[in-house]
Amino acid sequence: VKDYRPHTEGQQLRILLHGPAGAGKSSFINSVQSVVRGRMYAHALVDNTSGDSFTTKYQTYKIQKGNPETFYPFVFSDIMGLERTSGVLVSDVILAMKGHVKDGYGFDLESKLSEQDGFYNRSPNLNDQVHVLVCVVPADTLAQMPEEVVKKIRNIRKEARDLGIPQVALITKVDLACPEVKKDLKNIYKSKYMKEKFSVNVGIPMNCIFPVKSYHEEIDLDDDMDSLILSTMRHIINLGDDCINFRSHSDQQEF
Ligand X SMILES: Nc1nc2c(ncn2[C@@H]2O[C@H](COP(=O)(O)OP(=O)(O)O)[C@@H](O)[C@H]2O)c(=O)[nH]1
- Minimum CB–partner distance for residue 189 and ligand X (Å): 16
Q: Rule CB under 6 A: choose which of 37, 42, 43, 47 binds ligand X.
A: 47
CB 133 within 8 A of CB 167: yes
Q: Rule CB under 6 A: choose which of 24, 124, 166, 240 binds ligand X.
A: 24
Tell me which H or E stretch contains 170: strand 167-172
What's the number of CA atoms in the CB half-sphere (13 Å) around residue 159?
18
CB 179 within 8 A of CB 4: no
Q: Rule CB under 6 A: choose which of 83, 92, 128, 175 binds ligand X.
A: 175
In the list Mg ion, ligand X, none, the entry touching 155 (Cβ below 5 to 8 angstroms by class) is none
Greatest Cα pair distance, the chain, in angstroms, is 53
Assess 26 for contact with Mg ion (CB under 5 A): yes
Q: Rule CB under 6 A: choose which of 213, 228, 229, 241 binds ligand X.
A: 213
Binding mask 55-74 for ligand X (x = CB under 6 A): x-------------------
CB 48 within 8 A of CB 173: no
- Minimum CB–partner distance for residue 17 and ligand X (Å): 8
Stretch that binds ligand X, among 95-103, 111-119, 172-180, 228-236 (CB under 6 A): 172-180
- Minimum CB–partner distance for residue 25 and Mg ion (Å): 5
DSSP state of 155: H
Tell me which H or E stretch contains 134: strand 132-138
Residue 124 CB coordination number (10 Å): 19
Q: Rule CB under 5 A: choose which of 12, 30, 55, 121 binds Mg ion.
A: 55
Residues 6+ apart with CB under 8 A from 176: 138, 139, 140, 182
32/229 Cα distance (integer angstroms): 7
Q: How many residues bind Mg ion (CB under 5 A)?
A: 3
CB 31 within 8 A of CB 185: no
Assess 54 for contact with ligand X (CB under 6 A): yes
27/183 Cα distance (integer angstroms): 21
Nearest CB to Mg ion, comparing residues 45 and 163:
45
Beta pairing class for 59-61 and 74-78? antiparallel
Tell me how far apart the terminal alpha carbons of the chain are, to the nearest angstrom.
29
Assess 30 for contact with Mg ion (CB under 5 A): no
- Minimum CB–partner distance for residue 51 and ligand X (Å): 10
Stretch that binds Mg ion, among 4-12, 47-55, 56-64, 181-189 (CB under 5 A): 47-55
Stretch that binds Mg ion, among 2-10, 22-30, 96-104, 205-213 (CB under 5 A): 22-30
Residues of the shown chain interacting with Mg ion in the complex, contacts defined by CB under 5 A: 25-26, 55
Residues of the shown chain interacting with ligand X in the complex, contacts defined by CB under 6 A: 21-27, 46-48, 50, 54-55, 81, 172-173, 175-176, 213-214, 216
